Amino acid sequence: MIPYGHQHIDQTDIDAVVAVLHSDFLTQGPAVPAFENAVAGYAGAAHAVAVNSATSALHIACLALALGPSDRLWTVPITFLASANCARYCGAEVDFVDIDPRTRNMCVVALEEKLEAASRKNRLPKVLVPVHFGGEPCDMERIGALARRFGVKVVEDASHAVGARYRGTHIGDCRHSDIVVFSFHPVKIVTTAEGGMALTQDAELARLMRLARSHGMERDPVRFMQPPEGEWVYEMQSLGWNYRLTDLQAALGLTQLDRVDAFVRRRRELADRYDRLLRGLPLLLPTRTDGNDSAWHLYVVELDKARPTRSEVYSRMREGGIGVAVHYIPVHLQPYYRAIGFKPGDFPRSEAYYAGAISLPMFFALTDVQQGKVVQILTDSLQ
Ligand SMILES: *Cc1c(COP(=O)(O)O)cnc(C)c1O
């Protein structure tokens, strides 16, 4: 089976992880801050907080922004569950903004209308989570301007977008947001097996996220609330978790990051080839936006005829050895979110997109020959 996504591990990755195994620190050693500095430098952020997943990064981002019960977070239905669940961890309400069918990202017009309506009812969200779907940057300039106008904080879920560029700079520089979150799951652009990171330009947000990452433990005597009895003293002033990344993972992340531009370059090449090879088939292909360079985490096509159905095409391709996938089942249609009150029809453009979407194999090591096979089997499956 040719999978839809796959990590690329080379000897430098293996040597880096083995070197940590021979060292004094398997966790809380020098590799984690080195990885944080490398990602912050690459993305153009002042601060980076490494954690054990993007899910944890989204959670500590919401905690740092003081999202709590009686607050609201808005994201899109076409995303992974974690973009919405982070609000629920904090006891906050979730709502969704429908997508723009062209980019599959949060629709800025729908967002503006929804913010205006919410403002009239005094029900504005505290946090907005746009998702760079498939690695294609959202219209952050307009989203950022709307967020400032309505006093809303922005956390970019950039799990797909490590290495993507928006208007000339890397996603991650927080130019139009408070915090940017990356994922290092093996199907994403660069991997640490499990892992994530929260980036920000704001020292105070970074401090709060570091506290939440490690049990809420304060070690700076200047900040103690009680006079310390000795040098061993740490204080817990707020509730925290253990969301730490290990040094093994950070070492892997460092060598992976060395290849991020090569990873994205090959993905872009594969996307261009898919565009050429699929032209003429009854499919909607991903679109490009001037000024954006997608990281091409996903290459999603949409069927634009009723027959064969998506389900038929999906099964035929799987039978043909192509590990296609579907990204994503709209989050509001999951039983957990239906129980909160969401229902089919709430976000029609997300639901229409979902009905026809199929993700084709897209990863660094996919060969031209394998890609040709994907195209052949897709062509046959559409008959
Ligand atoms: C993968 C992903 C996440 C979660 O990432 P983990 O590192 O697996 O926790 C969150 N949001 C989106 C959009 C993702 O694709």
Distance of alpha carbon 67 from alpha carbon 140, whole angstroms: 21
Q: Model pTM?
A: 0.98
Ligand 1 contact via 153 beta carbon (within 6 Å):
no
Query: Which pLDDT tens digit goes with each residue over 78-134?
Result: 999 999 999 999 999 999 999 999 999 999 999 999 999 999 999 999 999 999 999
183 pocket-lining for ligand 1 (C-beta < 6 Å) = yes
Ligand 1 pocket member 185 (CB < 6 A): yes
Query: How many angstroms does the Cα of residue 169 sit away from the middle of ligand 1?
Result: 22
- Do 89 and 229 touch, CB atoms closer than 8 A? no
Q: What residue owns the CA closest to ligand 1's atom 5? A: 54
Q: Please compute, for residue 165, the number of CA atoms within 13 A of its CA located in the half-sphere on the CB side.
A: 12
Distance 132 CA to ligand 1 centre (A): 11
Return the best residue to mutate from 39, 88, 185, 298 for the ligand 1 pocket (most ligand atoms within 8 A of CB): 185
Centre of ligand 1 from the C-alpha of residue 79, in Å: 9
pLDDT in tens, 269-293: 999 999 999 999 999 999 999 999 9
Residue 211 has phi, psi (to 5 degrees) of: -60, -45
Question: What confidence tens digit (pLDDT) does each residue in 70-80 have?
Answer: 999 999 999 99
The CA 10 to ligand 1 mean position distance, Å, reads 24
The pLDDT tens digits of the residues spanning 154-211 come to: 999 999 999 999 999 999 999 999 999 999 999 999 999 999 999 999 999 999 999 9
3-state SS assignment for residue 158: coil
Indicate the pLDDT class of residue 337, thresholds 50, 70 and 90: very high
Q: What is the pLDDT of residue 309?
A: 96
In the block, tokens 């089997």 appear at 377
Residue in 53, 55, 99, 190 to alter for ligand 1 test, most ligand atoms within 8 A of Cβ: 55
- Decide whether any atom of ligand 1 lies within 6 Å of the 325 Cβ: no
pLDDT in tens, 197-252: 999 999 999 999 999 999 999 999 999 999 999 999 999 999 999 999 999 999 99
Cα gap 59→82, rounded to integer Å: 9
Check if 80 has its Cβ closer than 6 Å to any atom of ligand 1. Answer: yes
pLDDT at 306 (0 to 100)? 85
State the Cα torsion 27-29-31-35 to the nearest 10°. 90
Contact 279, 307 (CB under 8 A): no
Q: Is the CB of 191 under 6 A from ligand 1?
A: no
- Indicate the top mutation candidate among 83, 104, 300, 326 to test ligand 1's pocket, ranked by most ligand atoms within 8 A of CB: 83
